[in-house]
C-alpha cells in the first residue's frame, strides 16, 4: 500500500479547515447522497510541484449544481429557515415522546390514631414534670416544695402507667414494621 505524500496530506487538512462549518450541499435526487460534491487527492494542488505553478482547487459538482450555476447566490436565509423548521420538528417530536403525565396527587392520609385520654395524660405528666423542673433551674425561679414533689411524682406515675399498658403479646418475629 502506497502512503500519501505529506504535502498532499497537509493540503487536504488545509482544505478541511478552510471549509469547516460550511453546510454540505447534497443532491436530493439520490437517496444516499452519493451525488454530493466530493474532494479527492487529485483535486488538491500539489505544493511540491517542481515548476512552481500551483493549480486552483477543483471540486467535482453534480448536474444539479451545474444547472443552478447561473442562479443568483442565496444569502443563507433559506439555510436558516431550514434549520429553524428542523429544530421545530425535533422539538415537537421530543415533546411527543416525552409527554409529562399529570402531576401525582397522593391520596388522603388516614386519620391519626385515637389516643385514649389516660394515655395522653400519662405522656403529658412524664414529659411535663421534668420540663417544669428544668425550666425552674434554668430561669432561676423558686418552685414551692409541693410543686416539685408533684412534678417528680407525675414523671414516675406517667412512666409506670405507660410501662404497665405496654402490650404483653410477643410481636411477629418476621414483622419488620413495613406496611403495603
Structure confidence at residue 98 (pLDDT):
76
Separation CA 6–CA 48 (nearest Å): 10
Range with lowest mean pLDDT among 56-60, 122-126, 143-147: 56-60
Structure confidence at residue 157 (pLDDT):
96
Establish if 57 belongs to a structural domain.
Answer: yes
- The boundaries of the domain holding residue 135 are 117-164
Establish if 49 belongs to a structural domain.
Answer: yes
Separation CA 6–CA 8 (nearest Å): 5
Residue that finishes a domain, picked among 11, 46, 69? 69
C-alpha angle 98-102-103 in degrees, rounded to nearest 5: 110
Establish if 157 belongs to a structural domain.
Answer: yes
Structure confidence at residue 1 (pLDDT):
46
Residue that finishes a domain, picked among 69, 85, 105? 69
Establish if 62 belongs to a structural domain.
Answer: yes
Answering whether pTM is above 0.75, one says no
- Whether residue 4 is found in the same domain as residue 63: yes
- Split into its structural domains, the chain has a count of 2
Residue that finishes a domain, picked among 32, 52, 69? 69
Amino acid at each position: 500500500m502506497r502512503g500519501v505524500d505529506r504535502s498532499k496530506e497537509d493540503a487536504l487538512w488545509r482544505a478541511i479547515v478552510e471549509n469547516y462549518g460550511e453546510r454540505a450541499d447534497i443532491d436530493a435526487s439520490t437517496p444516499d447522497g452519493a451525488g454530493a460534491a466530493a474532494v479527492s487527492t487529485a483535486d488538491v494542488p500539489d505544493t511540491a510541484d517542481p515548476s512552481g505553478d500551483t493549480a486552483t482547487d477543483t471540486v467535482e459538482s453534480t448536474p444539479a449544481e451545474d444547472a443552478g450555476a447561473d442562479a443568483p447566490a442565496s444569502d443563507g436565509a433559506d439555510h436558516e429557515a431550514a434549520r429553524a423548521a428542523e429544530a421545530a420538528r425535533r422539538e415537537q417530536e421530543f415533546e411527543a415522546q416525552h409527554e409529562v403525565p399529570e402531576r401525582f396527587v397522593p391520596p388522603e392520609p388516614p386519620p391519626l390514631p385515637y389516643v385514649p385520654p389516660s394515655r395522653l395524660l400519662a405522656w403529658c405528666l412524664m414529659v411535663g414534670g421534668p420540663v417544669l423542673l428544668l425550666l425552674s433551674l434554668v430561669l432561676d425561679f423558686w418552685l414551692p416544695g409541693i410543686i416539685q414533689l408533684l412534678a417528680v411524682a407525675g414523671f414516675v406515675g406517667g412512666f409506670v402507667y405507660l410501662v404497665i399498658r405496654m402490650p404483653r403479646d410477643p410481636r411477629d418475629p418476621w414483622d419488620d414494621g413495613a406496611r403495603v
